[in-house]
Amino acid sequence: MANPFSKGWKYMMSSFDKKIEDNADPKVQIHQAAEAAREQHRQIQQQAAAVIGNRNQLEMQLARLNKERDKLTANARTAVQQADAARAGGEEAKAAEFEQTAGVFATQLVSVETEIEQTTEMHAQAVRAAEEAQQQAKQSQTRFEELKTQIRELESQADQAKMQEQTSRTLDGMQGVSDDPNVPTLEGVREKIEGRYARALGAQELAENSAAGRMAEIEAAGTDASADMRLAEIRAQMASEGGNQLESGAGEPAGALEQGDAAQGAAEGAAEGAAAPDTDAAPNADAADAEHPDVDDADVTV
């Protein structure tokens, strides 16, 4: 029988992981992936460096063993030559000692040569491993460079996605859709305004249908009728005043014409009076001529 506590714990952990994955920031995940790739590349580089270092170490060991082999070979030859010289001189004991010393050098030489063979084989393997490590390091470097390019592209896409989400939230907020319950939406504000306006219209309708509303309407109608009557009186008064002004304006030109005719008659009378003395003077002159007939007109001196 399965343990319910263990099963519940695994379920909770799986649910928790899913929530974290759903709500995780893409840029943080990109950073985590980049760090993991960088760490992997660093490990590959370190392993390649270790393999190459092992090859170099084996090369140095081979060089040291070769020197030691050459030295042991030279010592063994010298010991053999000295043994031969001592035997030729009849010194068998000394020759035996040199032979024994030459044998020691030969034993050491065999050991060194065996070690050289083993080291040479290990060096060959190390050379192949170093070449493979270098190839892997180059491939890792190439992959890491490609990964860095992809990381930059993903970061740019994440920024664009974040900007698009922000724009979408802004548009949703402008259209009345909001995820934050503490922020009023345009649709909610519109509903409040329409509700208040509808209630105000209802209150106005009730007031108009009530007795007070009818009384106010009647009073307003009476006020309007009084205003219309007063306006009609003002118009009639203005019309009568306009007629009087027209009559007075028509009488003034007639009087002026009569005065002009009187002046013209007086002028004509004065002209006739001036012409009358000349007519009277002519008979007087004729009478004088009759009284003095002997006087000629030429003798009269003026």
Where are the chain's structural domains? 14-172, 202-252
- What is the end-to-end Cα distance of the chain in Å, rounded? 184
8 Å CB contact between 158 and 27? yes
User: Residue 98, Cβ neighbours under 10 Å: how many?
Assistant: 21
Does pTM top 0.75 for this prediction? no
| CA proximity to 58, closest of 105, 128, 110 | 128
Tokens 């592209």 appear where?
A: 153
Per-residue pLDDT of the chain (302 residues; tens, 9 = 90+): 567 777 777 767 777 676 766 666 777 878 888 888 889 889 999 999 999 999 999 999 999 999 999 999 999 899 888 888 888 888 888 888 888 888 898 999 899 999 999 999 999 999 999 999 999 889 988 988 888 888 888 888 888 888 887 787 777 666 555 556 666 667 777 888 888 888 888 887 777 676 666 677 777 777 877 888 878 888 888 888 877 665 655 444 444 444 445 445 544 554 444 444 444 444 444 444 444 444 444 343 33
CA angle 237, 241, 245 (to 5 degrees): 170
What is the C-alpha separation between 37 and 237, in angstroms, rounded? 105
User: Tell me, what amino acid is at 196?
Assistant: R
Displacement of CA 101 from its chain's centroid (Å): 93
8 Å CB contact between 99 and 79? yes
N residues, the chain: 302
What residues have CB less than 8 Å from 119, skipping those under 6 apart? 58, 61, 62, 65
